[in-house]
């Protein structure tokens, strides 16, 4: 079953399993769900928390204890619409903020586009094509988390830049050094042949959100549970993000 429609909620895998189970099987206790999914009860309890928080399921209580399920077939549809409305409001708020703080009203308005789920993240990258007149790009890139989304896709996307000799300056997590030392991911190697220069964040610093600056476009992508992406096409916004990136680059280690 294709469950991409659930990606917008940013659910952990176990929560997705529990949600699909109660949709298919009806209102059930934790013990029953645990047996059906061969999942520890403690894991089921953890899994239902984000489902309850986003009103994807309901909690019921009677003299036999707590059970969980959905009230009707439209509950998931309503929750999905509410999430889409939240993203739309966030987009409107961001556009309003950028428009309000834009110093030159004669310049074309910036554009912002939102994406959700793994498929959406990949589409966001496709929507920023490599160009022969822009030969440098700047990234904050949680390597392992991002390639776990779809390694073959990011390998394909990254190597397309060789057509135009685009050089990547990437800031990565300290924990991702092992990928550079290994032999499995030659296309990620930090060397001039790959047109890549990498520096690493201090040890212990973690990030799930990546951003990629290329020309006057900036792409943000969450490799964590949220699985969202958005692109901003704005010269001034990218100039500001470039200042942030430079500060991080200067504090990172070779």
Please state, in angstroms and rounded to a whole number, the distance separating the CA atoms of residues 16 and 56: 10
pTM attached to this predicted model: 0.54
Contact 127, 161 (CB under 8 A): no
Contact 23, 76 (CB under 8 A): yes
Contact 6, 115 (CB under 8 A): no
CA angle 142, 148, 151 (to 5 degrees): 100
pLDDT tens-digit series, residues 204-244: 777 788 899 999 999 999 887 888 899 999 999 999 999 99
* Ranges assigned E (strand) in the chain: 58-62, 65-69, 111-116, 136-140, 167-172, 196-200, 209-214, 217-222, 228-233
Among 203, 199, 197, CA closest to 253: 199
Q: What is the mean pLDDT of residues 43-67?
A: 87
Please report, for the chain, the start and end positions of each structural domain, with discontinuous segments joined by +.
Answer: 4-76, 102-251
Environment class of residue 133 by beta-carbon count within 10 Å: exposed (0-12), middle (13-18) or buried (19+)? Answer: exposed
- Mean pLDDT: which of 35-39, 195-199, 202-206 is highest? 35-39
**Confidence label for 104 from pLDDT (cuts 50, 70 and 90):** very low
- Mean pLDDT: which of 20-24, 90-94, 156-160 is highest? 20-24
| % residues pLDDT > 70 (the chain) | 88
Over 70: is that where the pLDDT of 190 sits?
no
pLDDT at 106 (0 to 100): 42
Same fold, 4-76 and 102-251: no
Over 80: is that where the pLDDT of 60 sits?
yes
Contact 41, 31 (CB under 8 A): yes
Q: What is the mean pLDDT of residues 105-122?
A: 78
Superfamily of domain 102-251: Endonuclease Chain A (3.30.870.10)
pLDDT at 36 (0 to 100): 93
pLDDT at 206 (0 to 100): 79
Instruction: Determine whether domain 4-76 maps to CATH 3.90.1010.20.
Output: no
pLDDT at 139 (0 to 100): 92
Please state, in angstroms and rounded to a whole number, the distance separating the CA atoms of residues 115 and 12: 19
């Amino acid at each position: 079953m294709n469950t991409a429609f659930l990606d917008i909620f940013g659910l952990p895998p176990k929560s997705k399993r529990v949600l699909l189970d109660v949709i298919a099987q009806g209102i059930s206790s934790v013990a029953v769900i645990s047996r059906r999914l061969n999942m520890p009860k403690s894991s089921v309890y953890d899994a239902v928390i984000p489902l309850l928080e986003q009103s994807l399921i309901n909690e019921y209580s009677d003299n036999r204890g707590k059970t969980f399920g959905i009230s009707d077939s439209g509950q998931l549809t309503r929750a999905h619409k509410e999430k889409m409305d939240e993203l739309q409001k966030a987009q409107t708020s961001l556009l309003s903020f950028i428009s309000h703080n834009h110093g030159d009203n004669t310049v074309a308005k910036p554009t912002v586009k939102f994406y959700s789920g793994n498929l959406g993240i990949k589409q966001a990258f496709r929507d920023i094509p490599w160009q022969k007149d822009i030969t440098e790009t700047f990234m904050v890139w949680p390597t392992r988390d991002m390639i776990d989304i779809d390694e073959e896709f990011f390998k394909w996307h990254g190597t397309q830049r060789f057509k135009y000799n685009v050089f990547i300056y990437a800031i990565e997590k300290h924990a991702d050094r092992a990928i550079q030392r290994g032999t499995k991911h030659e296309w990620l190697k930090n060397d001039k042949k790959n047109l890549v220069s990498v520096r690493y964040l201090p040890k212990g610093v973690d990030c799930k959100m990546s951003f990629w600056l290329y020309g006057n476009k900036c792409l943000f992508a969450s490799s964590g549970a949220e699985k969202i992406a958005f692109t901003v096409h704005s010269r001034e916004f990218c100039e500001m993000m470039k200042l942030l990136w430079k500060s991080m680059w200067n504090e990172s280690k070779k």
